[in-house]
Amino acid sequence: MKKLIVANLKMNTTPSEFKTYAMTIATKAKGSKNNIVVCPPFTHLAVAKEILTSSKVSYGAQNMSAEEEGSFTGEVSAKMVKDLGAEYVILGHSDVRNKFKETDKLINRKIKTALANGIKVILCVGESLQTRESKQTQNFVRKQLDDDLKGIYENELEGVIIAYEPVWAISTNKTSSSKGITNKDISKMVEVIRKEIEAQFSAKAAKKITVLYGGSVGLNNYKKILSNESIDGALIGAASLDVDAFSVIARENY
């Protein structure tokens, strides 16, 4: 099964270091059946355009402004990332929700701006440990989807990918271990997400939407996680920093 494999480099690497990274993944991705996307920091997008344009690897930004243009010092607009060839943008990552206090309302506006500018959205949702322990995971994720996708038309949903990223499983290696998330947990949450999309849009939309899993996917567990047929791919943080490790995951036949 063809999967979507996305690298989230977060705030790592310099543009010069990324040049080597991009050249390596462009070469290693040749012949892969999967769709491969790399999301570096904004400052690297021009390098991505230079190196990845004629390759099999697509690229995206890690966030963007909800505003089109104007007096928003320090912000980066959809038009700017689009002009640099970014096909995707990650929105609602737990880093921006928790550390920069982005709200569902803002994320909803950002999604609308991205879609209006023809950029595909990788929308991250997922619960904290506290929410999980109080057995509120399903309600919490349903509400995130409800708030984040408010006012989006069904035909626009083609440009939306959902990444289920339980916050407590990110960069912890608590994946597929006895204490961590299991494939059963992941499949259950994918089902919850599809049911919510069905409730908000339609059964057709629920079936069609791409759902990724993210949270400590790495060389030690990718085969197990990505062989789970309920998920369409993975969003990979820490392990994607090692371009060789990321290439192995991106090239596998699932």
Task: Name the residues that contact ligand PGA, by CB under 6 A.
Answer: 8, 165, 170-171, 214-217, 235-239
Q: How far is the CB of 78 from ligand PGA (least distance, A)?
A: 21
Coil, strand or helix at 4: strand
Q: How far is the CB of 183 from ligand PGA (least distance, A)?
A: 16
Tell me whether residue 172 or residue 200 sits nearer to ligand PGA (CB atom).
Answer: 172
Q: Which helix (H) or strand (E) holds 54?
A: none
Q: How far is the CB of 204 from ligand PGA (least distance, A)?
A: 28
Question: To 5 degrees, how large is the angle CA 57–CA 62–CA 63?
Answer: 135
Q: How far is the CB of 171 from ligand PGA (least distance, A)?
A: 4
Closest chain position to ligand PGA (CB): 237
Tell me whether residue 171 or residue 202 sits nearer to ligand PGA (CB atom).
Answer: 171
Tell me whether residue 170 or residue 231 sits nearer to ligand PGA (CB atom).
Answer: 170
| Cα–Cα dist 169/95, whole Å | 13
Tell me whether residue 57 or residue 126 sits nearer to ligand PGA (CB atom).
Answer: 126
- Return the active site residues: 93, 165
| Both structure tokens of 105 | 């309302």
Q: Find, among 24, 40, 35, 21, the residue nearest to 86 by Cα.
A: 40
State whether the Cα torsion 249-10-208-132 is positive or negative.
positive
**Sequence-ordered list of residues with C-beta below 8 angstroms from that of 155, at least 6 positions apart, any chain:** none
